[in-house]
Amino acid sequence: MSCSRREALAALGALLATPSLSAALAHAEDTQPADMLLATSPAFQAARIRGELTAEQVVRRALDRCNTLGTSWRAIDLLSSSALADARASDERLRRGRLLGALDGVPVFAKSIYDLQGQPTSASSAEWVRLFPDAVPRDAVEVARLRAAGAVVLGKTAADDFAYRGNGTSSHTGQVLNPYDASAQRTPGGSSAGAAVVVAGGMAFSALGTDDGGSNRIPAQFTGVVGMKPSFGLVPRSGVIPTWPYLDTHGPLARSVMDAALMLWALVGADGEDALSHDLGRDTMRAMVTTSGVNRTAVQPSFTPDALRGRRLGIVSIHAPRTQMSAESVAQFDKALADCRTAGAIVDVFDAPVTRVNVRERFAEVASARGNVRPNPNSPAATANALYRYFARQGVDARAAAQRGHAAYRAFYDVLPTDWPAFEALLTSPYEHDAAGVSFARSREQVVTQLASAMRAERIDALVYPTMPFPAPLAVNPWPDVRTPLGFGNWMGLPEVSVPAGYDSQGMPLGNLSFVGLPGDDAALLAMAYAYEQQSRHFKPPAAVGSR
């Protein structure tokens, strides 16, 4: 006779005594969708322990969907040949009572700029594929950490070439389509376009993305999923084709805040090969899933539907440009704020000393006062060295590889020197010592301190604003000329969790609500975002998923 869901959760928690897994299972919902790939990973694990399904069955279903919907939406860069074997290995660990944690057996994806051992790295660029057709010998550190947690990496998702733009346009696999748009004309956003589409479309529970100026948050909004930009440096970036070392921030996309949190839990912590990675916020992130109780299934209160109760949320007016938003978008934003209030939050206007309007000026002012060079997060030397180190990590002749890829890479990162000798001269100067980059990092620390002081004075726990002030435009059209705080978040290195806030009358995702905090506040932000999500519960899968 099969046991009840509650008994199954308790049994699995007692069997494994794994804090991250027990906490996740405690959050498994009372009901689950008929399609397990549209559930949460805790619900998936609960169904496994009850014997209702196996990781192999779910991974096989995910791969089938990737080969149908994923291909038609041009969301897939490549699929791993080892995914089914990895799923079977997870099922064997479950049979032996030795699951590795909450992610064991869970299907996930990485973005096309990530290295996967035994596969080439395309960067979503047709020219890069031609120049570098060989398989790489090592996983990116984030991929390695996911595998160590037992996750089944299904493959890689399509993106803009070199993760440079925000439209989801790849010269290798084509324009990624928005799965909610039957006309196939609206952008899914980018650059982490495919990552957002595979989670929205029920091909994985979560996916790795990258964000230099909105590349996780834009597609999160345009496809109606959760997207996170963690605190800068919390997630190391070793083994990923670089962008801007002083801005680039890696994090999860998922259908639920819980699944985003569980992926991030596996990723955090410094890595020696990424000189700008650190451990600030790592311990609180890991403690977020600490459990207690006889069966280790009781989650600490910070991650409950009550996490917004008594929290003060600040609205920075310039970051919510009501006069430039449609009436439908304004109404949706107001409804999201009302949901936060219903969940117990206090929402009020906050006069921030630094905003998207003056952030660059503030950085320059404090650098000038220090007598430093002008801050520049797009310093050519830092990016050149990051590319050199990316190749060196593979054990190849990094100088020769950089020369081979120079023209293709520079076509997007056009601050780099056009001639090879000038580019070569920059390769080996460590980016962590680059004068313009160091000046930028020091200015960031000072300006963040100004923001933190103002937030403390007003007792503000987090900022909230629309992730984007408009829904997905047509992929071939210029975007509305409305400035957003996306780049502000990257300059400041602030953590941000973008959560679906609803759909328009045509069923298209209309907007997301962003929760923004200070560096190291990742766990607290996720807890607040979770509480909002439980109050609003807006995610809906694309209509096409029901037929596949």
SS (H, E, C) 39-52: CCHHHHHHHHHCCC
How far, in Å, CA of 190 to CA of 176, rounded? 9
Burial of 333 (0-12, 13-18, 19+ CB in 10 A): buried
Q: Are strands 462-466 and 496-500 parallel, antiparallel or unpaired?
A: unpaired
Q: How confident is the model at residue 547 (pLDDT cuts 50, 70, 90)?
A: low
How far, in Å, CA of 471 to CA of 116, rounded? 33
**Run of H or E including 175:** strand 174-175
**Predicted confidence (pLDDT) at residue 31 exceeds the cutoff of 90:** no
Contact 172/94 with Cβ under 8 angstroms? Answer: no
How far, in Å, CA of 299 to CA of 215, rounded? 32
Can you give the three-state secondary structure of 281-344, one letter per residue? CHHHHHHCCCEECCCCCEECHHHCCCCCCCCEEEECHHHCCHHHCCHHHHHHHHHHHHHHHHCC
**pLDDT above 70 as % of the chain:** 91
Peptide linkage before 191 cis (omega within 30 of 0): yes
**Predicted confidence (pLDDT) at residue 128 exceeds the cutoff of 60:** yes
**Predicted confidence (pLDDT) at residue 9 exceeds the cutoff of 50:** no
How far, in Å, CA of 447 to CA of 160, rounded? 31
- The total of other beta-carbon atoms located within 10 Å of residue 137's CB is 12
State pLDDT tens for residues 71-94: 999 999 999 999 999 999 999 999
State pLDDT tens for residues 423-456: 999 999 999 999 999 999 999 999 999 999 999 9
How far, in Å, CA of 225 to CA of 205, rounded? 11
- The CA-to-CA distance between both ends of the chain, in Å, stands at 32
| Residue among 188, 175, 167, 197 at smallest CA distance from 70 | 197
Q: How confident is the model at residue 101 (pLDDT cuts 50, 70, 90)?
A: confident
Average pLDDT, the chain: 92
**Predicted confidence (pLDDT) at residue 18 exceeds the cutoff of 50:** no
Q: How confident is the model at residue 126 (pLDDT cuts 50, 70, 90)?
A: very high
Sheet holding 312-315, edge to edge: 76-79, 152-157, 107-111, 206-211, 249-254, 226-229, 496-500, 512-516, 462-466, 312-315, 346-349
- The total of other beta-carbon atoms located within 10 Å of residue 318's CB is 14
What the block records as the tokens of 377 is: 């997060």
Tell how far CA 394 is from the center of its chain: 25
**What count of residues does the chain have?**
548
Mean pLDDT of 102-107: 95
Contact 83/64 with Cβ under 8 angstroms? Answer: no
What the block records as the tokens of 169 is: 């346009």
- The total of other beta-carbon atoms located within 10 Å of residue 223's CB is 34
∠ CA 314-318-321, rounded to 5°: 105
Catalytic residue IDs: 111, 191, 215
What the block records as the tokens of 174 is: 């084509």
The one-letter amino acid code at 106 reads: V
Higher per-residue pLDDT: 286 or 262: 262
